[in-house]
Amino acid sequence: MLDLAVVGAGVGGCYCAYRLVTDTGPGDGIALFEQTDRIGGRLWSEPVRDAPHLIAELGAMRLHRGLRSALALVRHLGLDLAPFEFGRPENLVHRRGVAMRCRELPGDRIVEAAERLVPGFAELRRRHHEAEERGDRRRSESLLDVFRDQRDQTRVSGRPLDELTWPHALDFALGPAAVAFLHDTGGYDLRRSGENAATQLDLVFRTPPDAEYVTLRHGMQGLPDALHARFTAAGGTTRTGHRLVRLDKEADHYRLTFTTPGGDRHTLARAVVLALPPEALRRLDGLPLARHLRPALDAVEPVPAFKLFLVYPRPWWRELGITRGRSTTDTALRQLWYGGTCPATESTGPALLLAAYPSGHSVHAWAPWRGGPPHPAAEAGHAATAAMVEHAHTLLARMHDLPDLERPLSACRQDWTAAWHVWRPGHDPRVIGPRTRQPIPGEAIHVVGDCWTPDPGSIEGTLASADDLLRVSFELPDPQWHTGPPR
């Protein structure tokens, strides 16, 4: 009989397990269960076969300096940060067959739209972030409240922003041609996104102007790995290869049924933390969890994404004056990151390119190239097809006007059917978020995740959800290194 079973060893589960074991001690036992044989979930850093000093970030890759919870945790764990390069002025924006340099792009049209939707947006945002930098939280929060009040009063054709999709609100503010331009040049899928306009505007507000981005020097997976190492050192146990399929109530405890490579296994626990994405929660049998979570499950929309990395014999992009960061295109590649997204190295040998990173509807453009044999030098477990590599290579050669571009040495691909989630129109994170914490009234079953927060689909959102749970349901005091409750 465990005191607590934490299920899911992504950053959310590892964080909860670490905080609970260090606060309460191993006691009658806290165990962490994970369906795969790896810790980290959507934080997944794979060394590249032909250049092991390079890391392919298969999942999350960046944080910005305004994300206080995530950065405080990184500092507390003693992990090294490194600059993360975004679009540099000399990088390319390739649209309708024509390549421009990023420096030729018009100014920030998203802020222009935000200003039209909520007059005074830019000034309020500037003052909010200045107060944040000074550490004046009372002031920064009151400015956030002013923004949220004004946003909630905004009407587009008589409807509140909360009822519209983000592309619909942008269309109203900037017109359809601008939305098409932002879709084609922004890297992320926009035109057909079903994302709630109010929550997206909130995210733009809380991202500092000219945000500076960082990554973990040795890979983003270092974060869950470090949490997990501390959990283990404090006496916690971990069972990988355990997929939770059923959760039942028995007297004053719960019976968890796992499928494992050796057959079904059962574990009893007095309390359960489910640090799982919505799709996994939906599939659980036994207690009617999905029924209680239905309003929350219906409130968010999964966004698919996939990443295709190519290793080239040398960093050919340097001859075009490009060193690091991102270029965008309206072709199926959508976003490419020179050198991948790991910190810059001086190496002159094989070079990594995150060659394609489509998300949302853009992933469907790859359907014709998914079949057929794997590329002869595809990474085991992350096999890109030969057709996919050839297609990406052809698009790259065309985009960079390099018809004789030498072929890649190897390839590596990761598909995510639900890379992250966005809020659908008509749902308010402030109402739904707290209801997911303990979905079945009276039952000691708790949910932690990245999607029912004001920062959906992010490490910061996951930590906010976990902190909220630990504070409210487990009555844990905030640790010393903590920066206070995120909003």
Ligand X SMILES: Cc1cc2nc3c(=O)[nH]c(=O)nc-3n(C[C@H](O)[C@H](O)[C@H](O)COP(=O)(O)OP(=O)(O)OC[C@H]3O[C@@H](n4cnc5c(N)ncnc54)[C@H](O)[C@@H]3O)c2cc1C
| Under 8 Å between Cβ of 417 and 450 | no
277 binds ligand X (CB under 6 A): yes
43 binds ligand X (CB under 6 A): yes
419 binds ligand X (CB under 6 A): yes
Which residues on adjacent β-strands are paired with residue 193?
none
132 binds ligand X (CB under 6 A): no
Binding ligand X by CB under 6 A: which of 8, 236, 278, 315?
A: 8
| Segment interacting with ligand X (CB under 6 A) among 140-148, 177-185, 273-281, 369-377 | 273-281
Smallest distance, ligand X to C-beta of residue 373, A: 25
Longest dimension (CA), the chain: 70
Give residue for tokens 């590249």: 48
Binding ligand X by CB under 6 A: which of 41, 87, 339, 340?
A: 41
244 binds ligand X (CB under 6 A): yes
12 binds ligand X (CB under 6 A): yes
Sequence-separated (6 or more) residues with CB below 8 Å from residue 294: none
Smallest distance, ligand X to C-beta of residue 72, A: 14
From residue 380 to residue 399, what is the string marking binding to ligand X with x (rule CB under 6 A)?
Answer: --------------------
Give residue for tokens 């004056």: 321
- Return the beta strands (E) in 92-202 as ranges: 92-95, 98-101, 155-156, 159-160
Smallest distance, ligand X to C-beta of residue 12, A: 3
| Segment interacting with ligand X (CB under 6 A) among 16-24, 73-81, 225-233, 414-422 | 414-422
Write the DSSP assignment of 202-271 as a string of letters. HHHHHSPTT--EEEETT-TTHHHHHHHHHHHHTT-EEE-S-EEEEEEEETTEEEEEEEETTEEEEEEEEE
Distance CA 179, CA 455 (A): 23
Query: Interaction with ligand X in 450-469: which residues (CB under 6 A)?
Result: 450, 457-460, 462
| Segment interacting with ligand X (CB under 6 A) among 32-40, 230-238, 403-411, 435-443 | 32-40
423 binds ligand X (CB under 6 A): no
Give kind and range of the element (H or E) at residue 115: helix 109-117
Binding ligand X by CB under 6 A: which of 42, 109, 292, 324?
A: 42
Sequence-separated (6 or more) residues with CB below 8 Å from residue 431: none
Binding ligand X by CB under 6 A: which of 13, 87, 439, 454?
A: 13
Sheet holding 81-83, edge to edge: 63-64, 213-216, 81-83
59 binds ligand X (CB under 6 A): yes
How distant, in Å, are the alpha carbons of 63, 124, 239, 294, 321 from that of 130?
Answer: 19, 10, 45, 39, 35
35 binds ligand X (CB under 6 A): yes
For binding to ligand X (CB under 6 A), which residues are involved?
Answer: 7-13, 33-36, 41-43, 59-63, 243-244, 275-277, 280, 305, 307, 416, 419-420, 449-450, 457-460, 462
